[in-house]
C-alpha cells in the first residue's frame, strides 16, 4: 500500500504527456514502494530507460555526485538530455545517503525544467527528520553545500511522508 500522498500524485500522471523513467539503481537493492511506483507509472504507458549509476557518477559518493550533477544542470547522459527536450522527464529512484540503506531513504523526483534539467522532488518518504537527513548528507565536508541544497529542496518542494 502506497502512502496516500504518493497515490494522489501518481493519479495526476494520466493528465501529463509521456514520461521517461530513469532508474539509476544498479546495486540490485530495491524498495517495495519504489517498485510499486515504477510499476504504476509503466502501466500508464510511459517509456522507461535504465541508466546505470556507472555512467552517471563515480562509485565513491555516487548518490551525492548524481544529485550534484542534477542540481547543477549537467546532463546525466545524452539519452536523458535528448528526451528531456521532448517531454517531461520523470525520475523514479532510490535515494540513499551516507550509511543509510536503500530501504530507509527513498524519493520520487521529477525534472520540471527540461532544458537545464533542474531537479525538483515532488514526493519524499523517509523515516528521518530534516536534521537527520542533513547530518547523513553532511558526513563528508566536501558535500556540505550540496547537503544544504538537497535538504532544502526536499523539505521545501516535496510532499513529505513520514515512515514510522
Per-residue pLDDT, averaged over 128-147, amounts to 51
pLDDT bracket for residue 121 (50, 70, 90): very low
Residue 7 has pLDDT above 60, yes or no: yes
Mean pLDDT, the chain, rounded, equals: 45
**Backbone φ, ψ for residue 66 (5° rounding):** -65, -45
Residue 94: Cβ-neighbour burial (10 angstroms; 0-12, 13-18, 19+): buried
Predicted pLDDT at 161: 38
Domain count along the chain? 1
Per-residue pLDDT, averaged over 74-78, amounts to 42
- Tell me which residue range forms the domain holding 142: 4-162
Q: How many residues does the chain have?
A: 164
How far is residue 3's CA from residue 6's CA, in Å, rounded to a whole number? 5
Per-residue pLDDT, averaged over 98-127, amounts to 38
pLDDT bracket for residue 134 (50, 70, 90): low
Question: Lowest-pLDDT range, 2-11, 28-37, 74-83, 130-139?
Answer: 74-83
Amino acid at each position: 500500500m502506497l502512502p496516500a500522498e504518493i497515490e494522489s500524485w501518481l493519479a495526476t500522471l494520466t493528465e501529463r504527456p509521456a514520461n521517461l523513467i530513469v532508474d539509476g539503481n544498479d546495486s540490485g537493492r530495491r524498495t517495495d514502494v519504489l517498485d510499486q511506483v515504477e510499476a504504476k507509472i509503466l502501466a500508464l504507458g510511459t517509456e522507461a530507460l535504465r541508466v546505470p549509476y556507472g555512467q552517471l557518477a563515480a562509485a565513491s559518493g555516487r548518490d551525492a555526485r548524481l544529485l550534484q550533477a542534477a542540481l547543477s544542470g549537467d546532463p546525466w547522459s545524452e539519452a536523458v538530455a535528448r528526451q528531456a527536450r521532448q517531454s517531461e522527464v520523470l525520475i523514479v529512484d532510490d535515494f540513499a545517503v551516507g550509511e543509510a540503506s536503500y530501504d530507509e531513504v527513498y524519493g520520487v523526483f521529477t525534472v520540471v525544467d527540461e532544458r537545464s534539467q533542474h531537479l525538483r522532488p515532488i514526493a519524499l518518504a523517509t523515516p528521518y527528520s530534516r536534521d537527520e537527513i542533513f547530518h547523513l548528507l553532511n558526513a563528508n565536508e566536501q558535500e556540505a553545500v550540496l547537503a544544504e541544497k538537497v535538504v532544502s529542496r526536499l523539505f521545501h518542494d516535496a510532499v513529505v511522508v513520514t515512515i514510522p
